[in-house]
Amino acid sequence: QVQVVESGGGTVQAGGSLRLTCAASGSVLSINNMGWYRGAPGKQRELVAAFTSGGRTNYADSVKGRFTISRDGAKNTVYLQMNDLKPEDTAVYYCNANWGPLNAWGRGTQVTVSS
């Protein structure tokens, strides 16, 4: 079993930056990949950034060049550096960890970008 907890959300003005942190605990050695998703009212949860097989990264087109996903060497903490934030980035950001067919989701952290 794996648990993930997000932190680092908040309210910033457009053009500002935030860094989100996701800490995994439990059976972390079984984790295949981790990533970030976001959900806004009235919208489906969408991929923001994630590590994929082979250590590659995948980003949503809307955040390319502005957001960067990274992780520590122990593979149990993942970060999302968000720069040049826009009002449309406002959402609850969720961390995901997957292993085999299973997934763990955090409770989310709110990011609000004011214009």
Q: What is the pLDDT of residues 26-80, one digit of tens each?
A: 888 888 899 999 999 889 999 999 999 888 999 999 999 999 999 986 668 999 9
User: Residue 75: its pLDDT value, please?
Assistant: 61
Residue 59, number of CB atoms within 10 A of its CB: 18
User: Residue 29: its pLDDT value, please?
Assistant: 85
